[in-house]
Amino acid sequence: MHFTTLISTAELAREIHDPHLVVVDCRYDLGDADAGERAYRAGHLPRAQFMHIDRDLSGAKTGANGRHPLPEVSALVATLGRAGIDPSAQVVAYDQNNGMWASRLWWLLRWLGHEVVAVLDGGIDKWMRESRPVTRDPPSVRPATFVPRTPAAVASAAEILDNLGTHSLKVIDARAAERFRGDVEPIDPVAGHIPGALNRPYSANLSSEGTFKSAARLREEFSELLDGTAPASVVHQCGSGVTACHNVLAMAVADLPGSRLYPGSWSEWIAVPTRPVARGE
């Protein structure tokens, strides 16, 4: 097995008994933080274990670092080791359907140098529509030693602020268009977006069936958005650094690797009142 971006339900079904496979359920609901864990207990993919977006895949909030700050490396390494992820592991992350939560684990693993990780395209919803097996049984997990590499570079608020003058980076906001424009803001206390950012809602990466668009289609769409900007000069953000990972994944699917994440995203940006805010298109 060697899947590094997406894996289809059919491909996972064929490989479900591979001894190197680690399956992780990442279901989550912003409006009900315990909903994903309840859904996991009610039924999950064979061999799947659960990781919580808040407890396992985020760090401590300070009031100034956003709603889903990155976990401390040592804490994340311990979490991944308890899950049995060693250098030989093929990790598959899934969520309800569209990958918006599973892409966070995909990004975190790659952040620490583990490349062999993929998101289940279509999530558990597609898996169940196809009448594939689910279980309530807890998996048998053998803890392992996760060996991290030096964390990959991320963007900071200071760098984004500096970019307002240099325009050396292209910042892409993964939130819905109405939140980007500032028409509504159901989650954070300030509406709007980072000045100069472009809007690419993560949902634009999906087909009408709820699976990712083809690599060719994604490449065409992102190439048009980037307009000649190299992926290395692209920074992704969203509300809290989670759904932005979906755009990082989509660019990887499109064979446009090398873009970075601004982990704190909008919720960190607005924590300092002097940082500028734009509204409208």
78, with CB counted inside 10 A (0-12, 13-18, 19+), is middle
Q: Which residues are catalytic?
A: 238
DSSP letters for 229-253: --GGGEEEE-SSSSTHHHHHHHHHH
Bridging pattern class, strands 170-173 and 198-199: parallel
**For residues 179 and 239, is the Cβ–Cβ distance under 8 A?**
yes
Q: Count the neighbouring beta carbons within 10 Å of the beta carbon of residue 138.
A: 12
Q: What is the distance between the alpha carbons of residues 268 and 22, in angstroms, rounded to a whole number?
A: 32
DSSP letters for 37-92: HHHHHH-B-TTEEE--TTTTS-----SSS-SSPPPPHHHHHHHHHHTT--TT-EEE
Q: What is the distance between the alpha carbons of residues 127 and 238, in angstroms, rounded to a whole number?
A: 28
